[in-house]
Structure 1
Amino acid sequence: MALVPYDGAMIPELRKFHEASATFHFANQDIVIRQNWKQLGVAAVVWDAAIILCTYLELGTVQLRNRTVIELGAGTGLVGIVASLLGADVTITDRAVALQFLESNVRDNIPHGSGSRAQVRELTWGTNLCQFEAASYDLILGADVVYLEETFPALLETLEYLSSEWTTVLLSCRIRYQRDNHFLKMLGGHFTVERVHYDSKRDVHIYKAQKKMKEEL
């Protein structure tokens, strides 16, 4: 997929994506996230869905301390970093092309010896899933991962593989097109899905999904 940068001068709303870094305050500390739109495009900027998901995690609605968490399509790593700082044991994943950039943000915001637990690993949805232990995570996080229709089957396969019946999945996204609703319908065939939060200002939804028991399928 070619990632073509927008012209920030032509679209004022997107100028923030051309900033070299963005600073956020979560888990009682400032988190400075480096961005690199020109090199990595959408994978290297902080989207509203990530900010809203971090805010939701900070509310404490979901138990994080000492829980095993995996973030899919992490991009800059903000969500995984916040989950780690809130006490989770987090695996932060993305495709190989984004890993070096992702690792730098994690390293800068979770210093060695801080007590927070986070590791960065390569994960392309639907590929080599056997490198991860199946059904072994308490929580799966994804911010703005529902946007490319051709990736929906692989994303669903990945969620199914990583989930047990006790795993909670939280997906933060905008519903931009009908295809996004189509993914939620696909997800609902294998998971019980409910909307647990909506930020009207940024038009971001958070959906909670839990794998259906075999007798429910």
Structure 2
Amino acid sequence: MRPMNSKETPVEGEVEVEEVEVEEVRVKLGCYTGFVKLVEDPSEEIMLLWGLQQPIFSKPNAFVKQSSLSLHLDAFGHSISVLQSPSSLMTPGVTGSVMWDSGIVLGKFLEHAVDSERLLLQGKKIVELGSGCGLVGCIAALSGAQVTLTDLPDRLRLLKKNVDTNLDSIDILGSGMVSELIWGEDPDPDILDPLPDYVLGSDVIYSEGAVGDLLSTLQQLCGRHTTAILSGELRNDAVLEYFLESAIKDFSIGQVDQMEFHPEYRSHRVVIYILVKRSNEECTNDN
């Protein structure tokens, strides 16, 4: 950050506050045609997120009710009903049995970006990581995309039930299928051939121990046509900074401005990043 010159002299006993001007580099990354703020210094990114957005003062679970057995949301003219399993939250390490704000925000962001012509998803191949209850992948399928929703083996039953309930009974251009995917291990060949146009993930940055495997999987899934879109809740600054420090070595990363979120689904507790491999910063797909 670059200090601004100030001619004011502080009065004795007052605290002098130095004004600073944040220089932002805004670029277009991958197949997202909106401008994003380029992340160049992960530590500065964390300082600004927690200092300016002040997530601790925003209401958590603003768009979800995790004690409920189901969640209902409209997207692309369809009503989505997502089953939740609140009791599974008592199992250590299981968080994908219910919805979180970052999933709602990402799903509605996709809808808003398509409607605003900043994203073209129809006919595109999409892989969602850590799909959980499947809301984001279902919304992507309703946009006309061919979506593979993935998660750990013990999470697939609820995920498949939600996909079948929301996609099999209606006539849509897109599709959704469920597949096992363990980060850090080789994905199913059908996932890699061809490589996806988009990789999606919400709340996939949750522990330092999982960052290496997550990035290994992103490296496998992201080719020269691939744009990754990840959302997350601002809970742990150290984990997010570690992810950004690790990812920035191989990916260009841009933060989506809150004003480009769906106008009814914005939260200072949620951030959305666009990632592309450093050699693939321009989308070569026909948009």
Query: Is the shorter-chain TM-score for this pair beyond 0.5, marking a shared fold?
Result: yes
Query: Pairwise mapping of residues 41-120 of structure 1 onto structure 2 (< 5 A)?
Result: 41-59=94-112, 60=114, 61-112=118-169, 114-115=171-172, 116-120=174-178
How much identity, in percent, do the aligned residues show?
A: 32
| 1:39 to partner: Cα distance | 2.4
The aligned counterpart of 1:4 is none
List gaps (5 residues or longer) in structure 2: 1-59, 281-287
Which protein, 1 or 2, shows the higher relative CO under an 8 Å CA cutoff with sep ≥ 6? Answer: 2
The aligned counterpart of 1:172 is 231
Query: Pairwise mapping of residues 116-135 of structure 1 onto structure 2 (< 5 A)?
Result: 116-129=174-187, 131=189, 132-133=191-192
CA distance in 1, matches of 2:205, 2:255: 15
Structure whose CA Rg is larger:
2
Where does structure 1 differ by over 6 angstroms across 4 or more consecutive aligned residues? none
Q: Return the TM-score normalized by structure 1.
A: 0.87
Question: 1:20 is aligned with what amino acid?
Answer: L
Matched-pair contact (CA < 8 Å) for 1:53–1:172: yes
Structure 2 residue 79 is the aligned partner of structure 1 residue 30: yes
Structure 2 residue 243 is the aligned partner of structure 1 residue 183: yes
CA distance in 1, matches of 2:241, 2:151: 24
SS of 2:137's partner is helix
| Match of residue 211, structure 1, among 260, 277, 280 | 277
Q: Return the TM-score normalized by structure 2.
A: 0.66
Answer 1 or 2: which has greater helix percent: 1
CA distance in 2, matches of 1:62, 1:195: 16
Q: Give CA-to-partner distance per residue, 1:87-119, whole Å, 9 cap, x none.
A: 100000000000011000000000256233111
Question: 1:68 is aligned with what amino acid?
Answer: K
Higher mean alpha-carbon deviation, 38-47 vs 178-187, is at 38-47
CA distance in 2, matches of 1:20, 1:165: 40
- Alpha carbons of structure 1 residues 176 and 135: separation in structure 2 relative to 1, 3 Å: farther
Higher mean alpha-carbon deviation, 205-214 vs 158-167, is at 205-214
| 1:134 to partner: Cα distance | 5.9
List gaps (5 residues or longer) in structure 1: 1-12
CA RMSD of aligned residues (A): 2.1
CA distance in 2, matches of 1:135, 1:185: 29
Alignment coverage as a number of residue pairs: 203
